[in-house]
Amino acid sequence: MKKIIIINGPNLNLLGNRETDIYGKTTLTEIEQLSKNKANELNLRISFYQSNSESEIINLIHKTQTDYDGLIINPAAFTHTSIALLDALKAVSKPKIEIHLSNIYNREDYRKSSITSAGVNGIICGLGSLSYILAIVALNDLLDN
């Protein structure tokens, strides 16, 4: 069974309560359950994490190389600021997909640039919790090819 890791960045633990007009009313716990349901359909095993700490996220990215077949990451605000996350993503040779609940290219100017995207195979954004489901399907396809 293929194993994937889904990593969620800062403030995503507040989903469902935080700026619902942008991020929706679905909680991260609900997104985790939706993700696990889709993974089960595809015969994947997922590990789902959230951290507000850049160093914890970097350590999880590093673990991908030895413990997982692929990675899905919602770097949240670190998307626009973290060269350290980019370097960690580039160091991992496994397939990687970046996701965002909102369309970062239709937001404030400072959110329109993704530093981390240079370290992943593809990006899915703007589709709310569906971004996670589509990323699981896409990552499964990348792993099969």
- Per the structure, the count of domains in the chain is 1
107-131 pLDDT, tens digit per residue, is 888 788 899 999 999 999 999 999 9
Task: Give catalytic residues, as residue numbers.
Answer: 23, 100
Q: Could you tell me the pTM of the whole model?
A: 0.95
Report the C-alpha gap between 14 and 10 in whole angstroms. Answer: 9
* Strands ordered across the beta sheet of 44-50: 44-50, 2-8, 70-74, 96-100, 122-125
58-81 pLDDT, tens digit per residue, is 999 999 999 999 999 999 999 999
Does 138 have pLDDT greater than 90? yes
Domain containing 129 equals 2-144
Predicted pLDDT of residue 18? 86
Domain CATH number, residue 83: 3.40.50.9100
